[in-house]
Amino acid sequence: MSGNTILCKCLVCLNQNISGVIVSFSTFYRHRKNQQEFLDVEETNIIYDEQTMEDIQQDIYQEEQTMEDIQQDIYQEENEDLQENQLDI
């Protein structure tokens, strides 16, 4: 049987024994496949999280730009009012 076994260090086996567990080749390949599927899902989640962060940063930037535009408009209006008042005097 030792020729048909291999040391598995997948997450499940490492939870059972820190050094890994000796399993059959079929069990090893099944564990490997399951772990790869798990890692693919985690990678997808990470990519989604990165995209979400980029979207949030873009939203913040746009809001800052909008606030700057509003402040500039207010400044221009105040400046126009001041000039009109000076002309009236």
Q: Given this model, what pLDDT does residue 55 score? A: 82
Q: Given this model, what pLDDT does residue 18 score? A: 87
Q: Given this model, what pLDDT does residue 35 score? A: 85
Residue 17 backbone phi and psi in degrees, to 5: -150, 130
Q: Is 19 helix (H, G, I), strand (E, B) or coil?
A: coil
Residue 19 has pLDDT above 70, yes or no: yes
Instruction: Report d(CA 28, CA 32) in Å as an integer.
Output: 6
Instruction: Report d(CA 36, CA 45) in Å as an integer.
Output: 14
The string of pLDDT tens digits covering residues 50-72 is: 788 888 888 888 999 999 999 99
The string of pLDDT tens digits covering residues 23-45 is: 888 888 898 888 888 877 777 77
Instruction: Report d(CA 79, CA 51) in Å as an integer.
Output: 42
For residues 8 and 84, the model is more confident at 8
- pTM score, whole prediction: 0.44
Residue 19 backbone phi and psi in degrees, to 5: -90, -5
Residue 10 backbone phi and psi in degrees, to 5: -75, 175
Residue 21 has pLDDT above 80, yes or no: yes
